[in-house]
Structure 1
C-alpha cells in the first residue's frame, strides 16, 4: 500500500517541488496551505506522515504541531518541520519540545530528504507524545512562540527595508541611465501604445518624450517615412507575437524636416509567461549613410 504524506506550505512553488519529489518516489501526497487547512484534512483522513513549513498565515507550523500532538488520532503520526526561515538552534529546540520527530532545513538534497522519509516510514523514530500541559506551561508555550515569531517578523522587516533601499538605488541608477542614454530607448504595451521613451529622442529628432507617451504607434506617422512606418508596424507585431526579428534601418523625420537614419532592434517584454509589450532601441546611424 502506498504511503501518504500531508505537506503544508503557503508557498505554491515549495508545495509543487515537494509534491513532485514525493510522488516521484511512489508516495501519495495531500497538500495544504496553512496549519488550519492541514489539521482539517488530517482529521478527516489521517496521513502516514506530515511535513510542514513553520511561517504560514492563519495557523503557523508551531501551533499546528501543538494541536497535532494533542490529538488522539494524530499524535502517533510523525511530524516533520521543513523550514527556510526558522533556522536557529533555539527554533529547532522549541520545535522538538512540541513533539516534532524531525527538524529539516530548506533546501535539502533530495536524496537526503528521501532517506529521512524512508527512515520515518520504517519506524526509525520514537513518537514524541506531548502530555496535556498545566495552565502555566500553556502560557509558557505562547510566550516562547510569540517571542520567536516576533524575532522572525522583525528580521523579515529588516530584510524588507534593506531590499527596498537596494531597489531605490537600482531605480535611481536606471533613471539616470535612461535619461542620459545616447540611443532612443522606448517601450510599448500589447496595444501598441507608447509607455516610455528616453529624453534622447529630443536630441536625435527634436521631439520631447511627452509628444509620444500614451499615444499609439500608428499615430506617429510624422516621424517615419511611409515605407518605414509600414515596415515598423509589421515588425512590432512580430515581436509582440514572440518572434525574433533582424536589426532594421528606418528613415526617421526630425521635427525640422531633416531625414535621419535609425537602426532598430526590439525584444518582447515578458511577465508571468505572457508577452505584455516590447522594448526597443533606435541608434542614430545617419553619419554612416
Structure 2
C-alpha cells in the first residue's frame, strides 16, 4: 500500500498532463501511486500519458463519456490504496517537497485535512502571485471564501470513509470541502508554497462568470441555504474575489489575501 494516492482527473489535457505527472515523479517522497482518471477525453490525452505508464506507480482509469471532475475524482478515490489522498488537477503542478512536507505536517498536527499555499501563474502574461492561507480553517468562515486550492488538498483516507464529491458540474470541490468541515473537523493550513496553479486562458472571464453562477447554485440549491443567508455568503465570496484580484494590497490589509510564510 502506498503512503499517498494522487488523484488526477483528466479531460482533454494532452498539452499539460505530462507536466503534472512529471511533478509527481519529481517528489522527494517516493512512496506514492498516481491514479489518472480520463474523463472521456477526445484529444490526444491518452497518447500524452503513454510515456509515463512505464512507471508502475502510475495507472489510468477511463470513464465512459465526460462526467465531470467530481465523478472523475470519486472514481480515483474508490480505486485509491494509499494512507493519504492528494488531489492534483491536470493543468497544475507540485514543487518537489510537496508530499513530504504535507504528510509530515498532517502527522505532526493530527489534522485530517490539510492544504498548502500556492503560486498563481498566469500562462498568458507570465505574472505570478503567491497565495497563502491561515493555520486553521473552519466553518462558517470557509463558507465566505474558499481559501484552499484543491490541487493542494490532502485528506486522511480512513477518516474520509464513504464520503464522496457531490454530483455538481461546477464548484464540487468547494461543496465537498464544506461538507467535510461541516462534520465538525477543521482543516490545517501549511503556509508554504508547494503547488503552482496555472490560469490565464483566453476564456478566463467566461470562466469567472460560470464559477460565480456555480457558487450561487451551490449555496442555494446544493446546500439549501435560505435566500438571505445565501445572499450574505455569496456577497462575501464575490467581494473577496474582487479584492484579491483588483485590490490585493487592501485584501492583504483586511486579511482576505495572505502571504505565504515561506
TM-score normalized by the length of structure 2:
0.29
Q: Which has the higher contact order (CA 8 A, sep 6+)?
A: 2
TM-score normalized by the length of structure 1:
0.27
